[in-house]
Structure formats: C-alpha cells, structure tokens
Amino acid sequence: MSKPLWHAEGRDVDERAMRFMAGEDARLDAELLPFDIIATRAHVRGLGRIGALAGEDVDKLVRALDEIARDVESGGLVMSGTFEDGHSAIEAWLTDRLGEAGKRVHLGRSRNDQVLIATRLYCLDRIGRLRAAAVESGRAALRRARENEHTLMPGFTHLQRAVPSSVGLWMGSFAESFADDAELLALTASWMDASPLGVAAGYGVNLPLDRDGVAYELGLVRLHVNPMHAQATRGKLEHQALASAWQVMQTVRRLSWDLVLFATAEFGFVTLPDGATTGSSIMPNKRNPDLAELLRAAPSVVGGCMAELQQLLSLPSGYHRDLQGAKPPLIRGLRVAIDAVGLVPWLIDGLAFDAERMRGACDPAMLATDRAVELAAGGVAFRDAYKQVAESLGELADRDPAESLRARVSPGATADLRLDEIGARLDSFAG
Amino acid sequence: MSKPLWHAEGRDVDERAMRFMAGEDARLDAELLPFDIIATRAHVRGLGRIGALAGEDVDKLVRALDEIARDVESGGLVMSGTFEDGHSAIEAWLTDRLGEAGKRVHLGRSRNDQVLIATRLYCLDRIGRLRAAAVESGRAALRRARENEHTLMPGFTHLQRAVPSSVGLWMGSFAESFADDAELLALTASWMDASPLGVAAGYGVNLPLDRDGVAYELGLVRLHVNPMHAQATRGKLEHQALASAWQVMQTVRRLSWDLVLFATAEFGFVTLPDGATTGSSIMPNKRNPDLAELLRAAPSVVGGCMAELQQLLSLPSGYHRDLQGAKPPLIRGLRVAIDAVGLVPWLIDGLAFDAERMRGACDPAMLATDRAVELAAGGVAFRDAYKQVAESLGELADRDPAESLRARVSPGATADLRLDEIGARLDSFAG
Amino acid sequence: MSKPLWHAEGRDVDERAMRFMAGEDARLDAELLPFDIIATRAHVRGLGRIGALAGEDVDKLVRALDEIARDVESGGLVMSGTFEDGHSAIEAWLTDRLGEAGKRVHLGRSRNDQVLIATRLYCLDRIGRLRAAAVESGRAALRRARENEHTLMPGFTHLQRAVPSSVGLWMGSFAESFADDAELLALTASWMDASPLGVAAGYGVNLPLDRDGVAYELGLVRLHVNPMHAQATRGKLEHQALASAWQVMQTVRRLSWDLVLFATAEFGFVTLPDGATTGSSIMPNKRNPDLAELLRAAPSVVGGCMAELQQLLSLPSGYHRDLQGAKPPLIRGLRVAIDAVGLVPWLIDGLAFDAERMRGACDPAMLATDRAVELAAGGVAFRDAYKQVAESLGELADRDPAESLRARVSPGATADLRLDEIGARLDSFAG
Amino acid sequence: MSKPLWHAEGRDVDERAMRFMAGEDARLDAELLPFDIIATRAHVRGLGRIGALAGEDVDKLVRALDEIARDVESGGLVMSGTFEDGHSAIEAWLTDRLGEAGKRVHLGRSRNDQVLIATRLYCLDRIGRLRAAAVESGRAALRRARENEHTLMPGFTHLQRAVPSSVGLWMGSFAESFADDAELLALTASWMDASPLGVAAGYGVNLPLDRDGVAYELGLVRLHVNPMHAQATRGKLEHQALASAWQVMQTVRRLSWDLVLFATAEFGFVTLPDGATTGSSIMPNKRNPDLAELLRAAPSVVGGCMAELQQLLSLPSGYHRDLQGAKPPLIRGLRVAIDAVGLVPWLIDGLAFDAERMRGACDPAMLATDRAVELAAGGVAFRDAYKQVAESLGELADRDPAESLRARVSPGATADLRLDEIGARLDSFAG
C-alpha cells in the first residue's frame, strides 16, 4: 500500500490493524470513486475562482480528472487495495500525470468533506435509479391491472376468503404503492440536496472557498452551512436513504409473498415466468419460485443495514473513524434494493393469471358483506343486518360475484379503480 | 368485556387468548380515540351527503360525537378494558345516547379503514408536534450560538483536539441539524397526507361513498385511492413516521453525548442546569447528568420500534391481525420522541459554559492546520506543507487561537456562521 | 413523590425532567419488586453475619421484609408513582414499620447492585417459566404427533408440493424445536447463574461483605467477581435472555405460519379451535385465525427489544443512567414471550386435522424423488436417475403415498420418527 | 456457469434473475467449501456402510475429496462464479477426476441438508476460534491487571468521578467479561453440536442412512433427529451464533470506548500503541485512535446481521429460497467478530498507562462514600451518614486514596481482586 499522507517514520501502523481498518474500503470506494472525481473537479475549479490555484493548473487538473473519470469508467484504472482509499487513488493518479500540480487538489479540503460529498452525490444518483425502477415497476403493475381490470379473484383478509375482488384491484394496489415509494424517494433526494463540500474536517478552513459556486456546479441546490453539522450528517442521510429504499422493498415483499402463495398448487392463481423459477436438485417434479422468494428476502438486507447504522451512531460531535462504518450498510443496502426492484417489471410482465381458477375460488358466501351493506343502507342497523345475513348465508348462492365488482362504486373500489389517476402520479415521479 | 360485533353463541373466544389478543389495545387506543371520533364524524357527514343516513340522524350523531369528544378530553369518558377496542367504545357510547341510530355509524366502513384513518390523523398530529419541538430546540441552540458566537472552544476529531472552534459553531450545528430534522418531518407529513377512509376491509364497498369530501373535511389533500394499497400502507407509514422521529432523536443523541462528555471533571466545559442532574444514593460528592444520559438512551427506543415494525411486515396482501402489532411501536416511539425533544430547549437554555476552561484547552499545536493551509495557498504542495508544519509545531506557540477563528472565512465557518440563514430555515418549518 | 436520598435543598430536579427520567419505572419495578425484596433479605442477613447489623435488627428486618413480600403479593402494598423506584419503596415501607432500623438496609450496597440482583433473579425466574412453557408446548406437539403418526400430508419446499409427509413428522418437528429452545433457555440460565450483589456502585465497598454466603442464600452458584464487570453485565445478560426467548418465539412463529396457511380455504388441512378465532366486523361469513396471527407477530416484539438493547449499549465502563433503558425491553420482551408460548399447548391440543383433504393433496408426482433414489441406489448416477424420472412422471400414478412414508427409514424420517427420543429430551429440560 | 442439475431445455432462467439469485453465493461458499468437503466425505463413507456405494467407489471418492480439500486449501482449486454453488463445484471436480462415480455423492442427500451440515461445521469452527480469541483477550487483560494491580485511577459513574479505583480492577473487569463471553460461546457450541445430515430436503429419504455413524465421524455428539426441524434450524442456529459473537463484541466495545476516552488530552490516562493510531490528512498535530474507534464500531455489524436474520425468518415450515439469505449475515458477522477480537490481545498489551495523571485525577471528594459507609457501619443510619458527609466534604482532604483501595475488602473489590479465580475460569474455556 502506498504510504498515507500522515505517515511518519518509525510510527508505522501494525499491518494486521491496517488491514482491519481498511476493511472493505477498496471495494466500496470503487462505487464512490466516480463521484469523488466529479467533486474533486468542482473543488479544483472553485480553488481557481478564488485564486488559490493558478488558471493553468486548474485546466490541467480538470483535463486530467476527465481522463481519469473516463479511464475509471472504461476499467483502465482500477481502485485497488494498493491505495488507502479512493481519495488517495485520485491524488496518486493525478500526481502520476501532472507531478507537483497533482498534489494541489487537497488544498482546502479534508478527507472528511471529500467522503461526505462523494457519498452525497452517490446517494442522489442511486436514489434516482431506485425511483426510476419503482416507477417502472408501478407501470408494469398498471399494465397488468388494465389488461385484467375486471378479472375476478378472491379478496382475502386474514388469508381467509372475504369478498370478490379483481386482478385490476390487486395489480393496481402495487401501482399505487410504487407511486408512494417513488414519491418518498423524491422527497428524500430533495431533503439531502445540499453540499457539504468546503467544511474541511468539520470546522471550516482559512480560505475564502466559493462553496456556493461549487455546490452549483455539482447541481446541488443549497449548502449544508455549518461545518460541524455537515460532518454530523454522516449516517443521518444514509439512514433516510435506506429508510426510503426500505419502503419500495416493502412493496416488493408484499408482491413476492402474493406470488409465492398464489403459485402454490393449493391456490393456483398465478404461474411465474419460467425464467424466474428453478428446478429441484432432488425432486424432479417441481418448479420453485426462487426469484420471488429472494425478492421477499431482500428487504431484510435493507432493514439489517438500518439497524447497523443505528447502532453505530451513538457518538459525540466531530468526526470519528467509526463513521467509516456507515459506508458498507449504505452501499450494500442500496445495491440490493436497486438490483431487486430492477427485476420487478420483467417479473410482473411475465405473470400468467388463471382466471378460471380464481373465479372458482369466489364462494357465494363472499357476497355476504354486500348483502349486509344493502340491508344497512336500506335502514337496518348494521349490527342487525350483519346478524341477519350471517344466519342466512345460503341465500347468497344466486348472486353473481361479477355483479359484486360492479356494485362497489366508491372511489378506488372495483368499479372505479382510477388507474389513470395512479398512472398520472407515477408519471409525475418518473423524471 | 362487551360482546364483539361478530360474536356467535357457543363459539366464544378463549378468555386467555382474548386477553393476549387485546394486548395493550385499550391503553394504546386511548391515544387514537380523539382521532377516531373526528374521523367518525366526517364519515357520518359523508354518509349523509350520499343519502345513506337521514339528515336528522346525521345531526344527532354529529352532536353526540362532539359531546363524546369533549367528555373524552375532559376525562369524563375513559377508554377502558371493557371495550374490545376504541371503535367499539365509540359505537357503545353512541348507542347509549342515541339508541338504534348509534349503530348506523358502522355503515360503509370496516374496523380496518377506521384504524387506518385514526392512525393517519394521529401520526400527522404527532409529527406536527415533534416538528414544533425540533424547531424550538433549534431556536434554543441558535440563541446560545448567538450569545457565544466567538467564544473559543477546542474542535475535536476522533475526540482528539484538532483545531480551535467556537461555541457559536458548536451550538449552530445543532440549530441546523434540528432544521434538517424539522424539514424531514414536514416532508414525511406531506407524504402521508392522504385519506384511506372509505376502503372498508381493503376491497371497497357497494356504496357511492363521498371519499373526496370526507378527506377534505379531515384536512387531507388527497386519497389513498386503491383499497388494497390503502390497507397495505399499515406499517409503511408508521415506519417513515418513526424514521423521521429517529432523525431528530439522533440530533438529540449527539447533543447529549457532548453534554455528558463536556460535563466531566476532565473536560469541564459545561455545567448542566441543576434541574437536569441528580445526586447519588451512595456517593454524596456527585451530581450526575441523568437527563442528558436518558436523552442519549432514548433514540434506542425509536430504533427498536423500527426494527419491531420491520420484522412484523413480512406478509401477503390483505389485512392480517399481525398488523395490530404496528400500533405499539408507533405510539411508543413517537411518545418517547416527543417527550425527549420537548425537554431540549429548556436543557439548552440552562447550560453554563466555562469560557476560560475551553480557551485553556486550545493548544497551540491546534493551529497547525491553519499554517499548513497558508503555506499551501502560497504555492507549496499540501503534502509538503503538511510535513513542514509537522516538523516545526513549536513555531505555532505565538499564534492566537482567536485569530484562527477570524481567519476561517469560508461560508459556515467560524468567521461566517450564517446563523441568520439557519434561523430563517428554522422559521420556515415552524408553521 | 417522596424526596430522593440525594435530595439537596434548592437543587430540585425540574418536574418535567423528573417525569421523563422516571419513565415507566414504577410500572416496570412492580415486576422486579418481589425479587428486590428477596435480595434485600439476603443482603440483610449477610450484613448480620459480618456484624454490620445487630442480630436483633436483622430479625426485625427479615420479618418485615417477609410481611412486605406477602403484602406485595396480595396486592396490599402497591409500587406506585409516589416512589422514585422500587428500592425507595422498600426502604420507605421498612421505615414505616421499623423506624430508624429500616434505613439500615442500604448499608453496603448501591441502587446499582440492587437493580442488578433484582434483574438477575427476575431473569432466572422468567427464563424458568419460559422453559417450562416451551417444554409443555413440545409435549403438546408430541401428543399430536403420536396420535397422527402416519396421517398423510404433503411435504412442501418453496411452498410447492414436494414429497408425501405425515402429521407425525410435522408435529414432531415442533416437539424437537421446543426441546432445542428449552435447552438454550437452560444454558442461558446456567450462564447467568452468578451473584452481582455486593459490588456497590461498581467499585466494591469498604466492608467485608459475605458475598458468597449471600449468593448461596439466593440460590446462585457463583459470583460475578469483579465489580466493574458485574456492573457491565447490565444489558449483556438481558440480551442473552432475549436471544433465548427469541428462539422459542421463532418456533412459535413457524407454527403460526403453518396454521394460518393450512387453515385457508385453499389448503384446508387444519381447523383452529373456535376459541382461537374471531369473526369479522363487516363480513359475516368469516372466522379469522387471529390468535395464530398474533403469535406470528409476537416474535417481532422480542426482536425489536434486542435491537433496542443493542443500540443502547455503546458506552464506556461504569454505570450510566442510560442503562435504566435496559429494563423496558427486557420486561416487555419476556412478558410477551411468556404470554405467547403459554397459549401454545392449548392451541395445539385444539387443532383438528382434515386427513382426507391432506391425503388428497399428495399428488403422484410427489413420489418422483423416491423413484429417483431407488434408481440411484440401484447404481444409476443420481443426475441420470433424476432425468429419467423427470421424463416419465406419469409412471408414478400407481404408487401409494403411504408406501412412501414407510420407505423413508433413515433415522428421524417418516418411518422412524423417534418420538420417544424427542420426548425424553423434552423431559430432561422440564426441571 | 455450468448447467444446474435441474436444468430443462427451453426453460432457462433469465440471466439477470440468475445473477440476482446467485448473489454473493460464490464468495460466501468459498468459506463453507472446506466444511462441505469434509461432510461429503463422511456422507460417502456412510453410503458405503449401508451398501449404497461400492467399497471401491467409496475409496476413490474419499481419496479424491482429500485431494480436492488439499487443492482448495492451497488455492489450486477455487470456488468461482462458474459454479452455481459450492455443492455443484464439488460434484464437478469429482466428476472431472472420477467420471460417473463422481456423480454418486449426491445420492441420499439434498442441497438442503448439504448446506445445513456445512454451515453447522463452519459455525462450530468459527465459534471455536472466537472463543480462543476471547480467552486470549481475557488473558491479556489479566496480565495488565496483575502488572498494575494497585495502580490508582478514578472510578467513574455517569462519567463523573465517583470513588478511587485501580487499573487492576479496571483491566480485571475485561478479563472476567471475556471469560463470560467465552463461556457463552462454549455453551452455544454445545447447543448446536448435532448433525442435520441425512434429512434430505426436510422429509427424510428412502434409504437406511447411517446418520449416527456419519455424525460420529464428523465429531458431532447427537442428531437433529426430525428432518423438518433440522431444516428449520436454518437461521435459528445462525442467530445464536451471532448472539454469542455479539457478547464478546460488546466487551470489546466497552474496552474501546474506555480507550478512546482515556486517550483524550483531557483524560490522558492511556497512550495507545503507535501501531494502533493514525495521523490526520489535514492536521499534522494529531494521532488518532482509529483502531479503537473501529473496534467500537464493529459490534454494529454483528447487531445489524442479527436484525437482518430476524427479519428474514418469518416463514412457514419447509425450505424456502429466502433461507439462502441467512448465509451473508452469518459469515459477515462472524468474520468481523473474529478479526476484531483477534486484535484485542495485541492492543491491550501495547497500552501505556500514565499512573501520575490517573492518581492526580483522584479527588479527595471521591472518598466520601468510604466515610459514609464507615459512619453507617458504626451505627448511623445510612441516609443520615450520607447527609453528614455531604455537608463536610472538606474533611476528606487528608485521606489517602490508596488507603481507600486497601479498605475495599469485599470479594472482588480493589483489595481482593481474585485475579487467579478469573484466570482459572479463562483457562477452563481455553480448550
């Protein structure tokens, strides 16, 4: 590993301790690296504007950073364990290309605010991706809702057959859930849309940094003004990023549970796409809903990451090395969420519904509520209507469950699903 | 306990099971009750508008509900264990007063959407209170920041003395942190500002309910349209309510840690108000910072509540009785948060700072960074500047730490704290 | 509230802060109180043995403590909010009865070790109860396994029908699971079977306390020797108590999931006892498995309590008031677990199995594995046997699923369930 | 990737889904692989004993497995992404070497019980390593306790100076804590010391497997008898493995907190070894306690892993693919714990104590408790003694804090640390 900046002869860090301290940094910093480069470029330009870097140096550094960004993207440059962290890698690569000038990028900032800004930009990027995946998932659900708007299926409460429902209502519920999730992701992004760059190690720096200009170049709408607070956002922003990701994963979990259940021999409402199932190594008769099961499992990762963060963050003000521990849960949680939600549109598109089986599961007794409401609307007290119907369930045999769908006219119910309204909301978070 | 609505002769629920199932419902429903009454009133009026209730009945019910609301507030009516839940209590009280008419309130809704709307209104109310408490806490911190804007104190990283800092910077950091927290609470409130009322048990109802009108009367800006989704928001909204509360508790935790640490004999920077400390039962020589310690502990409750929710919510679509388990963590978490944050302004106002002690802790070596930056700004590569300073720390003895505060002119730093900007942001979330 | 021991004129704790600091202490200390009294009696006798209390005083105190214990049990004395905590209550009651002598019980101990020992005894008692409930649950499952040893039912993997199984195998699995859980509870109890009493505030005391004798009287096998360590067990022991409780709750969760699923119309394998189900407030056609659902939900409480504890416990050595926060998750988690597991034997005893329905769900294709194993045992490579069977599933139609049960002769499998062995293991933890 | 066993033409799994499903399996299975090979060898021998494999085949397979084990250890064979999982890798390597015979190892078992046994052996191995590391950490603490048995230092409660204490007491507390942790790890190992091998996919198999003999060869003392239960231990055993690891990490956390705090300029009691500290990238004046901070952070990983597991495990009986999700938290949690605890002995050995500074921090007022106890032992009611001392703290100035250490004679206290007893207990868990 290259010598760290603060290296002093004769005071070497123990190698095993060094390895423990590095942890997964190299692997994780690879994800942050592109954002670190972008932020470094903006910092360099900002130093130029206040005269702390000569214009010529700024130009050379910006060009070199652009090259490095391209090389990192193409795989020509790789963040490896030979560097202490991503920041050191960038400085080393710059110094390779530009000599002395390469070392100037560190002026006026600390690794503390460097990791803050790289994490911020990374979060915003990933939250954007997750929002887009949530919108696409919602749109897939909406397509299926429209195709099967009035297809009968049982509505369950307590997993007991309750009232007739429709595939339109069921699939529509995921469309609206993903819309809510996309909205929260958007709100979360707006909440963290602030630049911490320029706070150095949490106490500011004796240079007239153009923090506002740098924020503007990075596309951030405001500053995290107070340096100690900017420092203390570490972990806090990560928590809300994960809390938002948890929401969309929760929608995925409900969907996965439904699919696993409805794909059993006993329910038999749904067939999953072949590409989402696997065989058994010992039982040749089976196809297993592995993908749905793993999607159902995935929210646990996000939840575990939140718990990890929460336990980490019992600390006084100021930077502590503990905060490095905020990186793994953030990156792990967001990666799992993006991968999981990214598979959902394809999965939903590939579902086959067994309309006959679902209709067959709509017992006449499921029309009891309709009848009780009719009686109650006609003036019978609901409690009495309820008893009256409970005592004469047999009389419901003649009612058509499809009629029940048509009778549920309250907004959002089976006769008025308002899919366009949900679709418009999804569109509004697509951006 | 009064017989439940669904009671059938000879099929009584086992008493011990009943007790287990009731859990803490009676105690918790007492907190939800006022909101349940408000929602019931809006529901009754909505039934009136679609002709499902006679105008006369509507008037009687609304008047009775207003009375009940007053009696509940005054303590004249108490939600007790004799009722299965808050919903049953309201119906029983109405029937006591109005006979048959009292039973009509249940028309067109289910306990499912009744608890959804009561929880929604409760959440919005409590999030509002918590936001107000966060703003007041931020304002208190701002007051202290202004009073002590340039009071020297050490800035720490890794709990090691790093650079000179100021009470203004320190206290200002809490002001901005509380502003961020208040913003997230406001965003969370806007996210859940939607009415689930009118979805019955999650599949709609065969009545032309005026859901939009009811939402409007309740002050909610939109509908949760899809009944299955509205049902599935249970737990999800609670999670984000708690995630927002966690943020403000995290700010409180950092503050508490600082206070406990700075109140030690070894640091000695701060004296806590007498009213926030206790004595020892065995050591007559001590005053202990119990309140700060308990504030430091309180975020764990909110975090634990989130973990509890997350573990609960692995379920297929549709209502399950498990979801009753979302109530205790929500109510417990928000109550602890509101109580804790409510004490913060008073605690901050009562802090006494020991300016002399803090100034004495500002070692000359803490001016090394300033010097390194000066050299680097003058053209020396930062790495070289760093080494040069590290080798001549003794030369820093003549520098005045107060000068260091004045030199840190970058936005937000000690010479430009931008307290007014933070104050304006706090004001914008006060409403 | 009575004035605390450390009360000093003019330095009153703020009332709102006092209320926040008291938290739920009064309610929780009521559960610890009987153990606090027992420990106090042992402490008093110990003081007598070293001559720090006169024999006469010892006798009076012991008699008074016995009376108080009886009065607390009968409800004649109640731990109320007028006392700061349970310790103060005991001292006050003693002083009421004995005057000056009552105050002597505090000699040589601190509230710190007083709460440690009370919590220890409480934990051991509750873990014992939970162990007994786990054993009874396992025995109930074993009874049903024996009654239905060879009753056919499908075995599922991925919730897909896999191979024929039996009620004996299914119920037997819970018997062995509860045995494992009981064993862990027993191991946990043995792990914490040590007395912390006599460590005062964590640094020992200048008296020759007979710690070993006191431990012996309390039925504890060893000491937590080191006072700082004894202090630091707070939270640690609670965590393992909850981790053990989590195990038995996890068994309950799997059982509950099975019951909810098998009680659906679609599976129809099981009918729950009427006393464990409820009706719907809006759908007169339904019986809902509420108890099973709430048992499925209950493990979340224990998990949440562990997360709460974990987040609390990031502290330096020595007592901190934060540790008071270890009480609520401990007591809440254990109470829920004991209540939940206590209902399981009754629930299992009341299950009705639909043998015909279960047999009907055993498809011929589920015999494919048997056939593949036969081929493989006859020398065909398993991979090839697997393919051969997969291509001729139709040939399995003639096989009798009951034959499959008889053929699975490996230890523990359907033909050799070893229920007696499991029963013996349960007995060994019944203690 | 090689075609999976259950591969069927035209029903390929979608590639992106496949990648998501594989997750980190290849990387994680590399850790399990050695144990999978050992278990496979025992399984093969067992098949030989019941005549399901020819003796010749057994010999060839055992030899090949031994070679593979060596090649895996030497790095000659690598578990890579070209295999679906470790099980497929072993089968492929065997088939490469032995042709048809290689395929026979799959007879009579499923990937389900294969992963169960590999995980079991892995857990036992890692728990053993962690126990050894805990014992070594305890011994290091004990060495320092002995070297500095009577070195004065302040004892803190609420981080306030309370009573004089000693380095012997402080370091001894970690020795006993690590002994408790080692004991729990040993108990946990004994709890899970049971073989699940031979349960196939959770319903047994139609072969007379010699499960007991296989267990014996693997060094396991008993069977998990019931196949469904054996299957259901997935996640449960992992949870207790992590719960035990959490305990030792919690001891490490308390130690780390003490070190970070005592290494501040303000306390100044301890200097950390150079090899455990780093410099600052911007502040040349500092040495930071990074290792102690990262050790303080590491318990969060274990806690997060437990939360992840808890959230995963809400499932009916039988294998579900979700359970694959139990691997990452188990392996991640144990790896972090082993790495962290492994560094502790070295860290403790390298601590330098500043005896003068610590003695200087022992205020005379800290002798108040001693005085109050003396008065109380002399017959004054403790409450009165307390008040009397509180009002005359000045009189304590003449007392020698070292005398206070000598006066605390109760077992475990400063005058009777019982280090040998703690050492003996550590030894008993060293094995």
Strands (E), B228-318: 270-271
- Give A 200-229 residues with CB within 8 A of chain D: 200-201
Shortest distance between the Cα of A370 and any Cα of chain C, in A, equals 9
For chain B, which ranges sit under pLDDT 50? Answer: 1
pLDDT of residue B21: 81
D307 touches chain B (CB under 8 A): yes
Given the residues D280, D300, D317, D392, the one annotated as active site: D280
A271 touches chain C (CB under 8 A): no
C163 touches chain D (CB under 8 A): yes
Given the residues A80, A190, A280, A300, the one annotated as active site: A280
Written as one string, the DSSP assignment of D288-327 is B-HHHHHHHHHHHHHHHHHHHHHHH----SS--GGGGGGH
**Whole-Å CA distances, B252 to A199, C25, C329:** 22, 22, 21
Give CA–CA dist C413/D113, Å, rounded: 13
Mean pLDDT for chain C?
Answer: 93
Q: One fold for both D15-107 and D120-194+225-360?
A: no
Shortest distance between the Cα of D415 and any Cα of chain B, in A, equals 20
Q: In this complex, do B288 and C321 lie within 8 Å of one another by their Cβ atoms?
A: yes
Q: In this complex, do B162 and A203 lie within 8 Å of one another by their Cβ atoms?
A: yes
Shortest distance between the Cα of D90 and any Cα of chain A, in A, equals 14
pLDDT of residue C4: 59
Q: Which of D160, D282, D287 sits opposite B265 (nearest CB)?
A: D160
Give CA–CA dist C314/C307, Å, rounded: 12
Q: In this complex, do B308 and C307 lie within 8 Å of one another by their Cβ atoms?
A: yes
Q: Which of D158, D282, D307 sits opposite B293 (nearest CB)?
A: D158
Report the pLDDT averaged over residues D294-314: 98
pLDDT of residue A159: 97
Q: Does residue D18 or residue D169 have the better pLDDT?
A: D169
A7 touches chain B (CB under 8 A): no
pLDDT of residue B4: 58
The tens digit of pLDDT for each residue in C112-151 reads 999 999 999 999 999 999 999 999 999 999 999 999 999 9
Minimal CA–CA distance to C404: which of C356, C376, C363, C345? Answer: C363
Give CA–CA dist A276/A255, Å, rounded: 14
**Which residue in B153, B160, B278, B388 has the most chain D C-beta atoms within 10 A of its own C-beta, making it the best mutation to test that interface?**
B160
The tens digit of pLDDT for each residue in A108-122 reads 998 899 999 999 999
Q: Which band of pLDDT confidence, cut at 50, 70 and 90, is reported for residue D16?
A: confident
Report the pLDDT averaged over residues D236-261: 98
Question: Residue D413 gets which letter from DSSP?
Answer: S
Residues 6+ apart with CB under 8 A from A369: A162, A163, B200, B201, B205, C282, C283, C284, C285
Q: Is D158 a catalytic residue?
A: yes
pLDDT of residue B381: 76
What ipTM does the predicted assembly reach? 0.95
Q: Which of A20, A290, A299 sits opposite D311 (nearest CB)?
A: A299
The answer to whether A103 and B382 are in contact (CB under 8 A) is yes
Q: In this complex, do C21 and B278 lie within 8 Å of one another by their Cβ atoms?
A: yes
Statement: residue D49 has pLDDT above 70: yes
The answer to whether D65 and D44 are in contact (CB under 8 A) is yes
Cβ contacts of C275 on chain B, cutoff 8 Å: 12-14, 17
The number of residues in chain C equals 431
The answer to whether B102 and B95 are in contact (CB under 8 A) is yes
The tens digit of pLDDT for each residue in C182-221 reads 999 999 999 999 999 999 999 999 999 999 999 999 999 9
pLDDT of residue C1: 42
Question: Residue A163 gets which letter from DSSP?
Answer: E
The answer to whether A238 and A329 are in contact (CB under 8 A) is yes
Report the pLDDT averaged over residues A346-360: 97
The answer to whether C160 and A287 are in contact (CB under 8 A) is yes
Statement: residue D9 has pLDDT above 60: no
Report the pLDDT averaged over residues D278-282: 73
Q: Are strands A160-166 and A152-157 parallel, antiparallel or unpaired?
A: antiparallel
**Which residue in D410, D419, D426 has the most chain C C-beta atoms within 10 A of its own C-beta, making it the best mutation to test that interface?**
D410
Q: In this complex, do D205 and C100 lie within 8 Å of one another by their Cβ atoms?
A: no
Written as one string, the DSSP assignment of B88-105 is HHHHHHHHHHHGGGGGGG
Rounded CA Rg of chain A: 28
Does the domain made of A15-107 have the CATH classification 1.10.275.10? yes
The tens digit of pLDDT for each residue in D54-105 reads 999 999 999 999 999 999 999 999 887 778 788 889 989 999 999 888 888 8
Q: In this complex, do B246 and A239 lie within 8 Å of one another by their Cβ atoms?
A: yes
Q: Which band of pLDDT confidence, cut at 50, 70 and 90, is reported for residue A281?
A: low
- CA C219 vs. chain centroid, Å, equals 21
**What CATH number does the domain located at C120-194+225-360 have?**
1.20.200.10
Q: In this complex, do D265 and B363 lie within 8 Å of one another by their Cβ atoms?
A: yes
Question: Residue C282 gets which letter from DSSP?
Answer: S
Mean pLDDT for chain A?
Answer: 93
The tens digit of pLDDT for each residue in A149-178 reads 999 999 999 999 999 999 999 999 999 999
Statement: residue D337 has pLDDT above 70: yes
Written as one string, the DSSP assignment of B130-190 is HHHHHHHHHHHHHHHHHHTTT-EEEEEETTEEEEEEEHHHHHHHHHHHHHHHHHHHHHHHH
The answer to whether C189 and C431 are in contact (CB under 8 A) is no
Cβ contacts of C310 on chain A, cutoff 8 Å: 307, 311
C14 touches chain D (CB under 8 A): no
Residue B157, strand partner residues:
B160
Interior angle at CA A357, CA A354 and CA A358, nearest 5: 85
Minimal CA–CA distance to D38: which of D219, D229, D222, D241? Answer: D219
Q: Give me the residue spans of the domains in chain D.
A: 15-107, 120-194+225-360, 364-415
- C-alpha dihedral sign at D355, D361, D365, D366: negative
Neighbours of C147 (CB within 10 A): 12
Q: In this complex, do B229 and A103 lie within 8 Å of one another by their Cβ atoms?
A: no
A260 touches chain C (CB under 8 A): yes
Q: Is C2 a catalytic residue?
A: no
Catalytic residues of B: 158, 280
Size of interface B-D (CB pairs under 8 A): 125
Helices (H) and strands (E) in chain B, counts: 16, 6
Statement: residue A1 has pLDDT above 50: no
